[in-house]
Structure 1
Amino acid sequence: MEEMEAYTGFAEVYDTFMDDTPYEEWADFLAGLIGKYGISRPVQSAGEAGCAAGTAESTGTEQESGADPSLREALEEEKNLVLDLGCGTGTLTELLSQKGFDMIGVDSSEEMLQLAMDKKEKTGSRILYLCQDMRDLDLYSTVGTVVSVCDSINYLLEDEDVADTFSLVENYLYPGGIFIFDFNTLYKYETVIGDTTIAENRDDCSFIWENYYHEEEHINEYDLTIFAREKKNRESFRRFQETHYQRGYTLEEMKSFVENSGLSLILVMDAETHREPTEDSERIYVVAGKGRKAAEECNTGENR
């Protein structure tokens, strides 16, 4: 048996067990939010995905007024950059790239990023992948949009971790840009998955997922035992074991982190119903913006 860090052994079977995840729906949903609330626009055509576009319609921000043509083009390129923070194996990143967005993917797992790079080689996309911890995000320019979904934010276990990450997002967002993220709620860990065991069996791999919820810390510990068929000897399986930790958050806590980072709340919604979150919402979407006047009350409910 091999003891491994999170998303090392699991990386090679991650896409297999996530094959029923509605990534296409998520990509459509995120693109809709970006179009409605954001400043990033697809490059001229989806076939040119990955090429920074200087041809998108200008939003006429104050920062661009009076700039020479080369500077305006550079600023336009930055506005159209979309960062996928916690991109994993790059499935969603690729789908957004196919929609024409100029994508950057950031993840802390080298193994997950290797799989993302394999997809990039197959599709011919020009996504830039960076191996970084989101708490130490370091980009070469600002970006127009940051997205972080599939509970990546829940891997931030301390208040300081969330505060640092959100401050860096605010720092690298172009004025008027937006930050779209989701998170699993405290309710989900306390009531739905805490102290449960989940198992799944496939032809080439199987896993046992054991949850242990630590109420005082609001931390969900889950131990993964993975059995993956050997590629050379198809009759043999390798056994991996790794432990993941995620923290549950309330909506009020997340609102506080957003506001303290200097961002303004734009929208909150239940991830399943796309309506106003309730006390039993398991996953919540948040849209926050940079350089926007905070509304007296942020939008809630369906993306309307």
Structure 2
Amino acid sequence: MSYHQFAYIYDYLMKDVPYDSWVEFVGNQADRYSVKGKDLLDIGCGTGELSLRLVKGGYSVTGVDLSEDMLFMALEKAEKEGLDLPLFQQDMSELEGLGRFDIITIFCDSLNYLGTEEKVINTFKKVREHLSEQGLFLFDVHSIYKMSQIFLNETFTYNDDEVAYIWDCFPGESPNSVEHGLTFFVRDDETGQYERIDEIHHQRTFPVLTLKNWLNEAGFEVLEVTADFTEGKPADNSERIFFSCKRK
């Protein structure tokens, strides 16, 4: 999906997201599974917040996203900081021609924006094509618990002098899916007036066992399944599920 105008307020709303925890997770898993190379493909890189942190952490990062607006913002940031961050606009389920990487990541529940089983399966296959023989595939997804118990039929609000939003969560058409109806009011610095922006975002998740089966069929060995930036296995109330995989 394209984030359209949402891209331009994304960073403001995501300022408290624990990007450094993802960087730490990548480093820990790379050490644990003896990944020597530093070439990293960050799929669903968005505005580049995580990608640029990884670059500063010593990785040679390539970013991929479907949204042209998000990539434009990522490029602006990289140029401002004088950092090298090659960027490509591609659908993660149709990745082509990017070469091989030592580590491939899909973080911040980007995989949940794929609405069909076929797209998730194709993404796994495309990731494998781009992963080196001894490489590591790391990704996270929302848990079914989070989709059904935290998001579903809930309304979230936020308000400060710059941005306000109303975020309504409705049942999606597919199992374990949610439609996020977002209405933003963003202050114009010149006029002091607020512009209204409306967005609909669709997310879907799948059971852990289903994802493990698809990974296996795509040619991966699942090394670990953990939760919520810990080394522990997912519990009934875990919100974010992490997968660490390698090529078979």
* Bin of the TM-score, shorter chain as denominator length: over 0.9
Determine the structure 2 residue equivalent to 1:245: 202
In the alignment, the residues of structure 2 paired with residue 237 and residue 112 of structure 1 have an alpha-carbon distance, to the nearest angstrom, of 22
User: C-alpha separation between the residues in 2 aligned to 1:88 and 1:278?
Assistant: 29
- 1:16 pairs with 2:16: no
TM-score by length of 1: 0.78
Partner-residue secondary structure (3-state), 1:242: strand
**Aligned residues of 1:190 and 1:215 also touching (Cα < 8 A):** no
The residue that corresponds to 1:59 in the other structure is: none
Aligned to 1:160: 118
Instruction: Using the TM superposition, give the Cα deviation of residue 38 of structure 1 relative to its aligned residue in structure 2, in angstroms.
Output: 4.9
Q: What amino acid is the match of 1:208?
A: I
Are 1:281 and 2:238 matched, yes or no?
yes
8 A Cα contact 2:172 2:202, kept in partner: no
Answer yes or no: is the 8 Å Cα contact 1:6–1:244 preserved in 2: no
- Deviations 1:16-63, CA, capped at 9 Å, x for gaps: 11111111222122122122225244xxxxxxxxxxxxxxxxxxxxxx
Deviation at 1:290, TM superposition (A): 1.1
Paired residues for 1:65-80 under 5 Å: 80=38
Measure how far apart 1:206 and its partner are: 1.4
1:26 to 19, 22, 25: 22
- 1:282 corresponds to which letter in structure 2? E
For 1:175-214, what aligned pairs fall within 5 Å after superposition? 175-214=133-172
Residue 88 of structure 2: aligned partner: 130
Hey, what's the Cα distance between the residues in 2 that align with 1:103 and 1:96?
Answer: 7
| SS at 2:238 equivalent | coil
Specify the structure having the higher radius of gyration (Cα): 1
- List 4+ stretches of structure 1 deviating above 4 A: none
CA distance in 2, matches of 1:138, 1:215: 30
Identity %: 33
Structure 2 partner of 1:37 = 33
Q: Does 1:117 align with 2:113?
A: no
Q: Which residue, out of 191, 212, 215, partners 1:255?
A: 212
- Shift of residue 279, structure 1, vs aligned partner: 2.4
> Structure 1: how far apart are the matches of 2:123 and 2:173?
24
Residue in 2 that maps onto 1:221: 179
User: CA separation in 2, counterparts of 1:279 and 1:17?
Assistant: 28
Tell me whether 1:169 sits opposite 2:127 in the alignment.
Answer: yes
Larger strand proportion, structure 1 or 2?
2
**3-state SS of paired residue (1:232):** coil
Cα–Cα, structure 1 residues 215 and 141, in superposed 2: closer, same or farther, change >3 Å?
Answer: closer
Contact map agreement 2:102 2:131 (CA 8 A) in 1: yes
Q: CA deviation at 1:191?
A: 1.2
Distance in 1 between residues matched to 2:99 and 2:174, nearest whole Å:
40
What is the CA-CA distance between 1:239 and the residue it aligns to? 0.8
What CA distance in whole angstroms lies between the structure 2 residues aligned with 1:155 and 1:140? 22
Q: Tell me how far apart the structure 2 counterparts of residues 111 and 178 of structure 1 sit (CA, whole Å).
A: 29
Deviations 1:48-95 (A, max 9, x none): xxxxxxxxxxxxxxxxxxxxxxxxxxxxxxxx3100000011000000
Amino acid at match of 1:29: F
Q: Which residue of 2 aligns with 1:69?
A: none
